[in-house]
Amino acid sequence: MLKNKKLILASQSPRRKDLLAQMGFEFEIRLNPVDETPPADLPIEALAEYLAQKKAHALRHTLTENEILLSADTVVIKNGVSLAKAQNATEAKKMLSQLSAQVHQVQTGVCLLSKNKEICRSEITEVHFRELSTAEIDFYIQNYAPFDKAGAYGIQEWIGMVGIKKIVGSYFNVVGLPTHLVYEMLQEMD
């Protein structure tokens, strides 16, 4: 599919690495940390795509003719506010309490970049949580340490298995990479 192109993943996320590998792609990891502070006037629905594009642009100078760079960023949106990664157990508990018995959106922005082309898109999935008890939230935080995940949870972990009633949209988007969208976008990168 990549027609003699080399795929570069601009992410440290073990979930994104696993999903790309499960799709059958061979790839190299390339990183260049960026400041993820968005402009104050950026609409929340543009945040994930903005951050994915910013990550891609930070590595633009490293690309050779036969390389395609894939960057992504996932945000959890509740009532028009982005829930970032929790820095500690207190923040994680607050976020999970906000998501309990509520509906929120998970948006992943994806950017593909080569020397000659750039495509950026995003996917939104609606997630419905049942009511979580304080004991359940505490158990999850103590046993799964969800501090590297937007919204302080992983759908593929215990909390997703017992706490999510339903999703509308892509499961893999909530994991961190809308695989169907990535596949479609890669087909356009000729």
Enter the pTM of the model: 0.94
**Alpha-carbon dihedral sign for residues 160, 47, 73, 179:** positive
Q: How is the chain split into domains, by residue range?
A: 6-187
- What's the pLDDT score for residue 141? 97
The b-or-e profile of 138-169 (16+ CB within 10 A means b, else e) is eebbeebebeebbbbbbbeeebbeebbeebeb
Q: Would you state the CATH architecture of domain 6-187?
A: Alpha-Beta Complex (3.90)
Query: Which of 18, 35, 41, 73 is the catalytic position?
Result: 73
Asked if 73 is an active-site residue, the reply is yes
Per-residue pLDDT tens, the chain, 190 aa: give them.
Answer: 788 899 999 999 999 999 999 999 999 999 998 998 999 999 999 999 999 999 999 999 999 999 999 999 999 999 999 998 999 999 999 999 999 999 999 999 999 999 999 999 999 999 999 999 999 999 999 999 899 899 999 999 999 999 999 999 999 999 999 999 999 999 999 7
